[in-house]
Structure 1
Amino acid sequence: MVGSTVNRLMLKIGRNTVNNIYITEESLKTRLLNLQCHFTWDLHVEDLGIDYKDTRLDDQMEYVINAPKHRMYNLRAYLRYLRGDYDEAMDQLQKAEEQIQDSDPDADIKRIVMYGNYAWLLYHQKDFIKSSTYAKKVEAIKQNYELAPENHKLLIDIYSEQGWAYLLFGKNYYEKAAKSFLNGLEFDKRHPELNSGYGTARYRIASLNYPQTEFSETNDALENAVKYNPEDAGVKTLLALQYQNQKQYLAQAAVERIEEALEQGQESPYILRYAATFYRKENKTEEAIKLLEKAITLTPTYASIYHQLGMCYKGLATTEAIGRAIFYLKRAVELKHMFPAAYVTLGEMYVWKKKYPEAEEAFHTAEGMTEEITDAVKQELHLIWGQYEWGHRRSEQEAINHFKIAILIKKATKNRKRAIKHLKSIAKDLIGRDSADATGYGLRGFIYQQEGQEKMAIEDYKKALQLQPNNEEYAKAISSVEGTLRE
């Protein structure tokens, strides 16, 4: 082929040599875009550490007993594709196919996402004839399941596979995961797997937004998951952790859920980790450590377990414990390079050990993970960093800058309150030292502004501006607060 057909490759496909159909590469791609599979779900390589997620899938295949194996292989195939290993991706799809028995009445339903992945992978391998063949297989299955209730079963399976894929890809996809599971639940409100998936997604969304979150929606989702999928010990641990964040009257219910989960999943590293998190928050550190040490024997490359062990030893706060915390936190970031929460705690432990260069390196590393760091972790980072600058480097301005960043993150957490308390102390100290220094009044005005005390904020900003008439920051702040009062 020459000329324009180089970019618009003509393909010859068909059922026989008499009735041939000619399509272009572009039209094939348009056809493939209508398939429901990992290649069309807008999953981006930059949103995950491929090798780490791949390891996690290996662990899940071994320890999450009820997880459909063909789905795991589908996901692994897509991860291999993202890594550029097309042959290995094809091998994973073949393994997915081996998991589906022809005797299964829902075999074709289970194949539809897998066939879509086949079609796309072959397309990227420039095997357009086979790619089109798999697209035909998908279309044939869809035709066989056009009518309810069979159509509903097909959609439920697709939404479920889509939801779990979104959960694997991290925090930027949690809302999409929840929507996928919810779409499936429209067809079957009691579906066990969909309820577990939706409860898990709602818990993760709530964790990102904590403490500014409505408990009721997450509670309902997790309670339904426990009700309709009682064999899923994982959602019981999530419900316990959810209860733990709420009023005291839920404490006993939380303990009951954890005990049930441990009885069901005492050999699952995921259950052990969540249960350990629960006990650590209950100040039962030794119990938490025992659970985590057992979990490590099951999954020695699971970074989150090492992070939790680091948190446990941080809580013990002895010299030996701090050393152990550093050891485990270093292991966590070795296993999972994009792990801002672990870097923040590691930096804090280095400060405690007076290893200041190492602490600063950890802080800068966490700060640089702009896509991965959550608001809560970022707030904690700048609180700890500010404390370090103030208490160890005696760098007043740097401390102020970090406390301000923590405060400007509008999450009503203990860390934000601590940052405000530090800044109030600095402002008081500055004004006490020199009543003609504008900085103290400017800081106090900033604090009042963040606490919603606009009139007092304006008063202090004006004092600061009188002392520094050319200061644009104070002038803009006055204008901003006055605008808020007029609204």
Structure 2
Amino acid sequence: MGGATTEGSIPLSLRLLETSVQRRKTMSTISKDSLKTSLLQLECHFTWTLLQEHVGLEALEDTIQDHIKYAEHNIVDYNILSYVCHLKNSNEEALRNLRKAEEAIQKHHPSEIARRSLVTWGNYAWIYYHMQKYEEAQTYVSKVENSCKKLSSNADGKIQLPEIYAEKGWALLRFGRNYFEEAKNCFENALRSEPDNPDFNAGYAIARYRLQDCAEKFGEEATPCLGALQRAAQLNPQDTTILALLALRLLHSGRGDEGERYIEEGLQKTPDFPIFLRHAANFYRKKGKVNKAVEILQKALALTPNSVVLHHQLGICYKSKILQLKKRRYIPQEVVEDLIQLAIFHLKTVIDKKPVFFSAYSELGNVYALGKRYEEAEEIFQEVLQRKDLPCDEKQFTYFSYGNFQRFHMKSESKAIKYYIEGLKIEKDSYGRKRCSEAVQTLLEQKIESHLGDATDIGTLGLVHKLNGKKQEAIECYKKAIALDPNNEDYQNELADLQLSISS
């Protein structure tokens, strides 16, 4: 009675139900795995390896929102904003931005909707996947795949569109200096199909500009970007961002007056465009016109009050004004105090909004020191040096700044030497390492030449030469140090190791 049973007295109907559930689970797993495989083939922000540890999400969101407000054709901005919203665990907001991207595509490219929507649809698919809405995700995967087959001349349906290369390039630029080289390559690929496209040329020129700027900052080789900027400016003279970057490169090349004409032209064309104003202010600050730079930055900040870059630039300008005042015989103390407070406010805002803006920590430490707020300076230097995500070249420059703080503000040459050497011990060639090397070598040589140096200073100079790969100079120093301190085993061991490495 009660129906057939199987072994173990489990009703057959229940066993069949369990088998059916297991089969559905297995099919669901297979379907989900297949979907993930398809998702990984898509060209969109989720497959471009854009890591959030390289940016401050709040600052990046503010930057994109500002660009949407002041720039035209915002498809690229809405797409990357959707990805940022996802990283902030706001998938509904991400979907809203993708709908805005679709509206922009329909408005600006009504005859190319499929071609222009591939990245947007890819982002849709990934966001629905993360929301565990697998049917919707599959729908968008299919839309991309079907569109690619129609647009492609290849049998396998693979497609390489210049617009996608360019959109990837713009996204990479947004995520900071770790991505600039790849961004340049993306714009190069886009330009192979459309060499005269103004947008692609602008992206390529900006990537080249940022690569050269970073290389100079960190003491590396870089290909000059002036030609790329000039070509981009010729193709679109209305792009005042390009005009400003061109002006900055001309200033760097000793052609500041020529550069200033481009800045004045930009101020006529786009007097209320914050991105241009930021670069224009940077130009005037580097040209020594700090008050003019502050005036422009304050105007730009009124337009985009959340801009981290503008806060940083203002902090640097106020620091420059403090240093200028301190050179005078009579210093109006209340003016200096006001400038110190302003600089601190803007630099703290940078760090709060974008904790990976590492150079701002040293700037803030230096401003605290200028205001004789030494404990706060010490605290900010220690905070950045203890960060696990501090890149080697940034760490070297921070050690240089911290060494200067110990030397000039705390009047401790021994601690300055210690921290310069810490920067030197990091083997990566960089501007910061070079500055550490120059500073510690000069300091030690001055002490030794003035007969204030002892065996310790000569031995330390030997270590500096050794870290710089100058073995013969290091040997000479260790020999002199041993002559003054014959029982020092450390010097004897270092000397023996160096002599052995030369002879072997």
The verdict on a shared fold, with TM-score over 0.5 as the criterion, is: yes
> Counterpart in 2 of 1:19?
none
Q: What amino acid is the match of 1:64? A: A
1:41 aligns to 2:55 (yes or no) = no
In 1, distance between residues paired with 2:492 and 2:183?
44
> Counterpart in 1 of 2:265?
260
Q: What amino acid is the match of 2:462? A: G
In 2, distance between residues paired with 1:7 and 1:480?
65
TM-score (norm 1): 0.86
1:133 aligns to 2:171 (yes or no) = no
In 2, distance between residues paired with 1:244 and 1:451?
33
Q: Secondary structure at the match of 1:160?
A: helix
Asked if 2 retains the 8 angstrom alpha-carbon contact of 1:122 and 1:130, the reply is yes
Deviates more, 1:449-458 or 1:272-281: 449-458
Asked if 2 retains the 8 angstrom alpha-carbon contact of 1:340 and 1:369, the reply is no
> Counterpart in 2 of 1:221?
228
In 2, distance between residues paired with 1:388 and 1:430?
22
In 2, distance between residues paired with 1:207 and 1:4?
58
Asked if 1 retains the 8 angstrom alpha-carbon contact of 2:465 and 2:474, the reply is yes
Question: In percent, how many aligned pairs have the same letter?
Answer: 33
Change (3 A) 1:424 1:172: same
1:371 aligns to 2:389 (yes or no) = yes
1:119 aligns to 2:136 (yes or no) = no
1:329 aligns to 2:347 (yes or no) = yes
Asked if 1 retains the 8 angstrom alpha-carbon contact of 2:361 and 2:381, the reply is yes
Task: Map 1:473-484 to 2 at 5 A.
Answer: 475-476=493-494, 479=497, 483=501
In 1, distance between residues paired with 2:486 and 2:295?
59
Asked if 1 retains the 8 angstrom alpha-carbon contact of 2:423 and 2:432, the reply is no
In 1, distance between residues paired with 2:65 and 2:473?
58
Measure how far apart 1:422 and its partner are.
Answer: 4.9
Corresponding residue to 2:410 among 387, 390, 393: 393
1:6 aligns to 2:25 (yes or no) = yes
TM-score (norm 2): 0.83
Of structures 1 and 2, the one scoring higher in RCO (CA 8 A, sep 6+) is 2
Measure how far apart 1:253 and its partner are.
Answer: 3.1
- Which of the pair has more CA radius of gyration? 2
> Counterpart in 1 of 2:318?
313
CA displacement, residues 114-155 of structure 1 (integer Å, 9 cap, x when unaligned): 11111111222222222222111111211221139xx99961
1:195 aligns to 2:212 (yes or no) = no
CA displacement, residues 157-195 of structure 1 (integer Å, 9 cap, x when unaligned): 101111111111112211221111111111122111111
Change (3 A) 1:89 1:481: farther
In 2, distance between residues paired with 1:145 and 1:184?
17
Deviates more, 1:80-89 or 1:417-426: 417-426
Change (3 A) 1:449 1:238: farther
Corresponding residue to 2:31 among 24, 28, 48: 24
Q: What amino acid is the match of 2:419? A: H
> Counterpart in 1 of 2:278?
273
1:240 aligns to 2:247 (yes or no) = yes
1:89 aligns to 2:108 (yes or no) = no
How many pairs were matched up?
466
1:51 aligns to 2:54 (yes or no) = no
Task: Map 1:171-186 to 2 at 5 A.
Answer: 171-186=177-192
Measure how far apart 1:370 and its partner are.
Answer: 4.8
RMSD: 3.0
Which blocks of at least 5 consecutive residues in structure 2 are unaligned?
1-19, 326-335
Deviates more, 1:277-286 or 1:237-246: 237-246
Asked if 2 retains the 8 angstrom alpha-carbon contact of 1:458 and 1:482, the reply is no
Corresponding residue to 2:103 among 83, 98, 105: 98
Corresponding residue to 1:299 among 301, 304, 312: 304
In 2, distance between residues paired with 1:433 and 1:96?
71
Q: Secondary structure at the match of 1:24?
A: helix
In 2, distance between residues paired with 1:471 and 1:155?
66
1:339 aligns to 2:357 (yes or no) = yes
Deviates more, 1:471-480 or 1:456-465: 471-480
> Counterpart in 1 of 2:366?
348
